[in-house]
Structures are given as C-alpha cells and as structure tokens.
C-alpha cells in the first residue's frame, strides 16, 4: 500500500472518519477511530483548545 503524506493542518472528525471508512467496513472504522483516540495518535480540538477524548 502507498504511504500518504501526513498533513499538519487541522482536520475535522468527519475527515478522519471518511478517510478510515474508505479502507474499512463500518465496524472496523469504529474500532480504528476509537483506537486512534485511545492511543493518543489523534486529538480533539475546539477553537485551538485540546479536548480530552475518553473511549469506553
């Protein structure tokens, strides 16, 4: 699989879900997005402030 360039600009949660879902099923998409939040690889932000994301 080709490696894609990582962007440094802020993306929306919808952008993240769309990118993951283009490669995975619905169940896999939920699992991957939850894992990205739990591992800290993805952060939520609101007006420049970090928002903690808890995965249960």
Residue 50 forms beta bridges with which residues?
A: 45
Task: Specify if 1 maps to a domain.
Answer: no
- CA 17 vs. chain centroid, Å, equals 6
pLDDT of 18 reads 94
Helix axes 26-39, 13-21, angle to 10 degrees: 130
Q: pLDDT tens digits, the chain, 56 residues: what are they? A: 666 667 777 788 999 999 999 999 999 999 999 999 999 888 888 888 988 888 87
Element of type H or E holding 32: helix 26-39
Instruction: Give the domain extent around 42.
Output: 13-51
- Asked if residue 3 is part of any domain, the answer here is no
Residue 47 lies in a domain: yes
What is the pLDDT at residue 2?
64
In a domain, 35, yes or no: yes
Distances (CA, A) of 24 to 1, 27, 31, 46: 14, 8, 10, 27
Total of domains in the chain:
1
Q: Give the number of residues written for the chain.
A: 56
Whole-model pTM over 0.85: no
46 lies in some domain: yes
């Amino acid at each position: 699989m080709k490696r894609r360039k990582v962007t440094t600009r802020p993306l929306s949660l919808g952008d993240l879900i769309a990118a993951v879902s283009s490669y995975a099923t619905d169940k896999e998409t939920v699992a991957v997005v939850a894992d990205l939040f739990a591992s800290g690889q993805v952060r939520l932000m609101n007006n420049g402030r970090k928002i903690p994301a808890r995965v249960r």
